[in-house]
């Protein structure tokens, strides 16, 4: 390099500006869910104070640019529904999860939270808890799982699940950053692990009460996309990122009511599973796109055509964890939801079809 151009550290240069005083103002990042089940966001300035969702202004965006509204009537309104500390800009800046509403006062077509809240309210006296296991795949620039050899495949599955060491896992820095960001923001992340397919990871959120489940999972997904952006990586929540002898990605959904958690709760768990059975197809319709590619009855899944359940069996639709069966109470795991499922649709279906 003969140009003599100075070497500039973008990190150091940015840090100089991020340290500046905000003069009593905060940045509020409004986050919403778009027509493709991806998060979008934009920022606005408000006077510094602690805000509840009700105290935050309703805002809007151009829905014709996100396929959420027609061009001739393009305003979609953002109604704040949950507030979190912002792990990217730091407190007192905030993340504002918002519901999408049409100009005529009806919920937007892609606002699945609105109906979920109604069902959560109906069953609120049963104290529904959810714990979701979000699996995802990190992709390289070529759109294949990160670190997979060009034109080839890694060694068969076996050493990657909960793996430690070079050649077994990749991009742990993203996983660690995401974990910390969730803790900082008060998102109820409960753990994380490397998955069976190389470049695939999982984290769990929960137990969460009622509507909090969907809210926290969506914010955790926003964080993951945003952190991957910082690292120049890409996240896929496709349920079968690679065809063949490779595990797909799910959103295992663990569920209990107060009665299931109390002594003798196994009877309630079995009742709930029996009620779910005739609603198999309706559940599958709520459980994500392209799930037929994943629910093959192989690679730790049940078949998409059949409702099955068992204790400690990972080849079924529903699994009762061994320790719950032994204790006679606890929760059950619906293994059917795909990694790209909307948690508002999944938790709503679980309540409607297993309790009503």
Instruction: Select from 71-79, 149-157, 215-223, 247-255 the region that touches ligand ADP (CB under 6 A).
Output: 247-255
What six digits make up the tokens of 340?
């790209």
Of 89, 114, 234, 261, the residue at the interface with ligand ADP (CB under 6 A) is: 261
Using CB under 6 A as the binding rule, whether residue 129 contacts ligand ADP is answered as yes
Instruction: Select from 9-17, 50-58, 239-247, 250-258 the region that touches ligand ADP (CB under 6 A).
Output: 250-258
Burial state string for 322-348 with b = 16 or more CB within 10 A and e = fewer than 16: eebbeeebbbbbbbbbbbbbbbbbbbb
Using CB under 5 A as the binding rule, whether residue 99 contacts Mn ion is answered as no
Nearer to Mn ion, 79 or 336 (CB): 336
Using CB under 6 A as the binding rule, whether residue 252 contacts ligand ADP is answered as yes
Q: In whole angstroms, give the CA distance from residue 275 to residue 330.
A: 18
Of 108, 236, 254, 347, the residue at the interface with ligand ADP (CB under 6 A) is: 254
What is the closest distance, in whole angstroms, from the C-beta atom of residue 140 to ligand ADP in the complex? 26
Using CB under 6 A as the binding rule, whether residue 302 contacts ligand ADP is answered as no
Using CB under 6 A as the binding rule, whether residue 207 contacts ligand ADP is answered as yes
What is the closest distance, in whole angstroms, from the C-beta atom of residue 327 to ligand ADP in the complex? 11
What six digits make up the tokens of 131?
């714990």
Of 66, 204, 236, 316, the residue at the interface with ligand ADP (CB under 6 A) is: 204
Strand, coil or helix: 191: strand
What is the closest distance, in whole angstroms, from the C-beta atom of residue 208 to ligand ADP in the complex? 8
Q: How many helices (H) and strands (E) does the chain have?
A: 9, 13
Interactions with ligand ADP, residue window 303-342 (CB under 6 A): 330-331, 333
Nearer to ligand ADP, 256 or 291 (CB): 256
Of 39, 102, 157, 190, the residue at the interface with ligand ADP (CB under 6 A) is: 190
Using CB under 5 A as the binding rule, whether residue 334 contacts Mn ion is answered as no
Q: In whole angstroms, give the CA distance from residue 147 to residue 195.
A: 15
Bond into 207 cis (ω within 30): yes
Using CB under 5 A as the binding rule, whether residue 238 contacts Mn ion is answered as no
What six digits make up the tokens of 277?
């059975």
Of 188, 252, 268, 345, the residue at the interface with Mn ion (CB under 5 A) is: 252
Q: In whole angstroms, give the CA distance from residue 323 to residue 14.
A: 50
From residue 97, alpha-carbon distances to 62, 188, 261, 295 in Å are: 17, 15, 30, 31
Using CB under 6 A as the binding rule, whether residue 255 contacts ligand ADP is answered as yes
Segment holding 261, helix H or strand E = helix 258-261
Using CB under 5 A as the binding rule, whether residue 345 contacts Mn ion is answered as no
* Nearest one of 237, 240, 341 to 299, comparing CA atoms: 240
Instruction: Select from 18-26, 65-73, 119-127, 130-138 the region that touches ligand ADP (CB under 6 A).
Output: 130-138
Instruction: Select from 119-127, 201-209, 238-246, 347-355 the region that touches ligand ADP (CB under 6 A).
Output: 201-209
What is the closest distance, in whole angstroms, from the C-beta atom of residue 250 to Mn ion in the complex? 7
Q: In whole angstroms, give the CA distance from residue 36 to residue 182.
A: 23
Q: In whole angstroms, give the CA distance from residue 303 to residue 293.
A: 10
Q: Measure the CA dihedral 116/65/14/233, to 10°.
A: 70
Of 87, 145, 206, 210, the residue at the interface with ligand ADP (CB under 6 A) is: 206
């Amino acid at each position: 390099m003969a140009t003599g151009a100075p070497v500039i550290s973008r990190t150091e240069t940015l840090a100089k500006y991020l340290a500046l005083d905000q003069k009593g103002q905060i940045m509020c990042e409004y986050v919403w869910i778009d027509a493709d089940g991806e998060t979008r966001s934009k920022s606005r300035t408000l006077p510094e104070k602690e805000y509840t969702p009700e105290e935050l202004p309703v805002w809007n965006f151009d829905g014709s640019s996100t396929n959420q509204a027609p061009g001739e009537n393009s305003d979609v309104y953002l109604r704040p529904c949950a507030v979190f500390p912002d792990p990217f800009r730091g407190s007192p800046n905030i993340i504002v999860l918002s519901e999408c509403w049409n100009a005529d006062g009806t919920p937007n077509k892609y606002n699945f939270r609105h109906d979920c809240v109604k069902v959560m309210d109906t069953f609120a006296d049963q104290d529904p808890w959810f714990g979701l296991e979000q699996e995802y795949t990190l992709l390289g620039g070529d759109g294949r799982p990160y670190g997979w050899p060009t034109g080839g495949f890694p060694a068969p599955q076996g050493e990657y699940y909960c793996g430690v060491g070079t050649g077994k896992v990749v991009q742990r820095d993203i996983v660690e950053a995401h974990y910390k960001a969730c803790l900082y923001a008060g998102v109820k992340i409960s753990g994380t692990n490397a998955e069976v397919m190389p470049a695939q990871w999982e984290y769990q959120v929960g137990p969460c009460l009622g509507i909090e489940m969907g809210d926290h999972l969506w914010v955790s997904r926003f964080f993951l996309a945003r952190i991957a952006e910082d690292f120049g990586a890409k996240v896929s929540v496709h349920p079968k990122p690679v065809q063949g002898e490779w595990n797909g990605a799910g959103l295992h959904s663990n569920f209990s009511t107060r009665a299931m958690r109390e002594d003798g709760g196994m009877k309630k768990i079995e009742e709930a599973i029996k009620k779910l059975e005739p609603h198999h197809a309706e559940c599958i319709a709520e459980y994500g796109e392209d799930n037929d590619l994943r629910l093959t009855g192989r690679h730790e899944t049940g078949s998409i055509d059949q409702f099955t359940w068992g204790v400690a069996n990972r080849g079924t639709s529903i699994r009762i964890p061994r320790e719950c069966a032994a204790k006679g109470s606890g929760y059950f795991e619906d293994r059917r939801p795909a990694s790209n499922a909307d948690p508002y649709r999944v938790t709503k279906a679980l309540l409607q079809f297993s309790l009503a």
